[in-house]
Structure formats: structure tokens, C-alpha cells
Amino acid sequence: MAGSTVPSHAADAPVRIVAFGDSLTAGYRLQPSQAFPVQLQAALKANGHDVEIANAGVSGDTASGGLERFDWAVPEGTEAVILELGANDALRGIDPKQTRASLDAILTKLKARNIDVLLAGMVAPRNWGEPYRAEFDVIYPELAKTHETLLYPFFLEGVATDAKLNLDDGLHPTAGGIGKIVERILPNVEELIARVKARRAAKS
């Protein structure tokens, strides 16, 4: 389009996605080619989608840590974000109110930049007790509703607690476990891509 200041967002340009998360995104103890963003990009391309997915996962990161690094983790030109943070908050028993506030702030920043979001939910470990679990687990569906984002309710659905799909620490998926996550989340990411393309069309 004549005079456009964002040629990278032309209708036929790759959709630029950032996978913004913790070790589950980063690919803890996996080869770079086995990490979630790489496997997801390959699966999407196999389905005919032209995408570029950046790995902005940092092992050990919490929701507040993600908020602190937001500006460099989500560079200019990003059109969509898969937000996967909170697992370490739950493991450490961080106050759910703090986790909610940090995720809320991240989502607010993304919305202000017109970046479409797929929020990947987490659930709290049972050992923290039902009150903590109840307060933590509702964070994701409630924020998704408030910010009108797409939601994948539990990032580790079908993988958590399955020894065959996790490393010996019982917490981090193997390459095969990541493959299972990609298989399950793929329709949600395709919906995210459709939102990006609809936004592009509305601007043209």
C-alpha cells in the first residue's frame, strides 16, 4: 500500500509471532530445534501458514519477570504473542494476586500495541491446597475474558504427569512432550493467525 510505514505487515508477509514464556517455551534441556516455538512453526508451515515465531522464553521466569522484560521480549513489528507465564509462580507459591496483576499488565501493554494474544493457562499444584488452587486457576480464564484474548486453558494438557512425555525432573516436557503440546494447541494458534490476518485486512 502506498505510503505504508509497516511494509513488513503486508498481506503476503509472514505473520510475526512471539512465544513469550518460561522454560516450557524456552526448551529446557532440549536441542534448540526441539523447543516449542520451533516445533510450532514447523507444524504451522506444514499446514500452509507463513509464520515466523521468535523464542522469547526464559527459564525460571515468573509473570513479574516477564513484565520486567516486556519491552525487549516483544519487539516492534510483533503481530501476535503466545503468552505462557505463571508456571513458576505456582510452583513457588507466589501470591496469585501478584501473578494476576503482572499478567494483566502484560496483556494491557499488548492490547495497547494492537498485538493479538493467545493466553496459555496454567494450573496450581495440588500440594498448595484448594484455596490457593482455586484462586490461581481462575486467573487465566478471567483475564482472557477481560482482555478479549484467545485462551488455551492449560498449556501442559495431555502432557503433565505423563512420565513418557516429561524429563526426569517430572516438570519439563521431552521433545515428544512438546510435540504433543503443539498438536493440541495448533487449532488455537491458527485462530490467532486468522485474527492477525483480519486485522491486516481491516487496515488495507
Please list the rounded mean pLDDT of every run of 10 residues in the chain (204 residues).
43 94 98 98 98 98 98 97 98 97 98 98 94 97 98 97 95 98 98 97 88
Amino acid sitting at position 120:
A
Task: Please report the domains of the chain, with CATH numbers, ordered by start residue.
Answer: 14-203 (3.40.50.1110)
| Catalytic-residue membership of 172 | yes
Pick the catalytic residue from 23, 89, 102, 116: 23
Looking at residue 204, its pLDDT comes to 80
Q: At what angle do helices 130-137 and 96-112 cross, to 10 degrees?
A: 10
Looking at residue 9, its pLDDT comes to 60
Helical (H) or strand (E) element with 44? helix 36-46
Looking at residue 12, its pLDDT comes to 83
Looking at residue 173, its pLDDT comes to 98
Pick the catalytic residue from 9, 49, 61, 172: 172
| Catalytic-residue membership of 23 | yes
Looking at residue 4, its pLDDT comes to 34
Strand partners, 15: 51
> How many Cα atoms occupy the beta-carbon half-sphere of 9 within 13 Å?
21
CA pair distance 116, 200, nearest whole angstrom:
11
Pick the catalytic residue from 12, 168, 169, 204: 169
Taking residue 1's Cβ as centre, other Cβ atoms within 10 Å add up to: 11
| Catalytic-residue membership of 95 | no
